[in-house]
Structure 1
Amino acid sequence: MASDGDEEQSQDYLFKIVLIGDAAVGKSNLLARYARNEFYPNSKSTIGVEFQTQKMDIDGKAVKAQIWDTAGQERFRAVTSAYYRGAVGALLVYDISRRQTFDSVGRWLNELQAHSDMNVVTILVGNKTDLKDAREVTTAEGKALAEAQGLFFMETSALDSSNVAAAFQTVVKEIYTILSRKMHLSQDQKKHDMSSLGNGKTVILQEDASDTNSGAKRNWCCS
C-alpha cells in the first residue's frame, strides 16, 4: 500500500529541456519525430523558439518534459539566450555529415553553461546517421568528446527514427533520478533534524507535535 509520502510525490514534475546546436542539424525534426512522429524533409529554419510538452511515466510518477527548440542561426542567439534559464536538460545536436557543426559543440557548451541557472543534464547527439556515405564525424569522435565533457552520447536519425525517443528519454530519466536522490536526501535530513530535537540542544521555537509533523511532510520541489 502506498504511504502518504508516496501519494504526495505522485504529482506531475515539469522539466524544461532545450535543443541546441548549429542551424540545419535537425533539431526541429528530432522534436517533430519524438513529439508527433513526423518528419519534414523541407522544413525551414526555426525562427525564435518553439516548444512541445511530452508526458512520460517514470517509476509510476507522471513526468512532463517541456522541450524548447531554439534557433541555431547566429542572428537569433541573443534572443534565445533567455530561454536557457530554468532548463534542467539539454540535447546538443550536431550533423554527422558536417564537421563544422561538430566543431561548434564546445561553443554551444560554453553558451549553455553561461546562461543556465544550474548544472544541466546534457546529451551530445550526432544526428542524420541515415547519411552514411556523407559521414564526416566518426562515432568514436563523438563518444570521445562526450566522455571528455562528461556528457551522455547517442547517434540518431530523425528521418528513420533511430534512437530519437531514447535520446530524449535518457535526459528526462537522468533528471528524474537526480531529483529523486535530492528528495531522499532532503527527507533524511528532516528525519535527522526531528530526532535531534530532544537531545538537549537549544530549540529556538517551541512547536507542538502536530505543527512539527505537518512541516516535515512539506514537499521538496525544484523550479
Structure 2
Amino acid sequence: MEKDEQVYRGKISFINYEKQFATIDYLHNTKQKSVNFKTNAADSGKKPHQFKLNDSVSFQLRLSDRGDKMTAYNVKFIHNEAVDLLIQKSAIENRFAGYLKIVDGKFFVKEVESYVLFPIQLSKWEKEPVETAANVAISFKLINIDKPNSIAAELFSHNYTAEYKKALQHFDKKIDIEAVVARVSPHAVYLNLFGEKMQAKLSVTEAEKETIKEGDIIPVNIVHLTSNRVVVKRVTA
C-alpha cells in the first residue's frame, strides 16, 4: 500500500524542531499506533502552521521515501486543548511563566505547565535575547490569540536599541530631531532619525518634495511612538 486515502485523526506526542519531524499518536481498529511526519513538508497545508506538542491533527498515510514504513502526510491542525486553555486564562490575566528556548537559531518560550512552545515576537527596535539566556525563567504574554497560526509570545522584559531609547526621550520631552533625508519617493520622504537604524516617513506636498533631496537636514518632532511605529511632524518656524 503506497498511499492510504483514509483520513485519520491523532495527537502530536513528540516534536524535534531542529530535525523538523514529529510523531502522531492515533487509534486505529482499537489499537494505539504512532507515525512520524516532516513538519516542514509542503503538503502539510497551504498556510504554514507551527506545530506544537498535543496538537490534534488530521492526516493521511503513505509509504516513506525509503519504502520501509508508513509516514503521515497532508497533516492539518485541528486544535490544541492546552493552547485553548492558555487563551482562556489570558482573558483573565495575560501573564505566564516560561523558559527561553533556542530552536533552529530562533527564540521561543516554553510555558511551564503545558510545555507548549511559542515563538517570541520582538518589536522593530528590540534586541534578541542573548544565547546564554536559554533555559532562563521569564514572564510573557500571548499575542495574536485570535489567529491560531500566528499565536506568539511577547516578553515583559525588553531590551530596546539605543535608537529607540533616544526616540523615547525626544518624544517624552518634545525635543526636536535633526533628521537626515534617506530617500525621496513619489509619495513621501523617508528620514533617518538617529542613524540608519530608525527611519520615519514624512508626508509632504508636491511643492515641498521638489525642494528636498537626499542628505538634507529636516527638523522634526515625534508625535506618535510605539515599539513598532514612529510618526514625525516637520518643525515649522
What's the TM-score bracket when you normalise by the shorter of the two chains?
under 0.3
The structure number with the bigger radius of gyration is: 2
TM-score w.r.t. the length of structure 2 is 0.21
Q: Which structure has more RCO (C-alpha within 8 Å, separation ≥ 6)?
A: 1
Higher strand share: 2
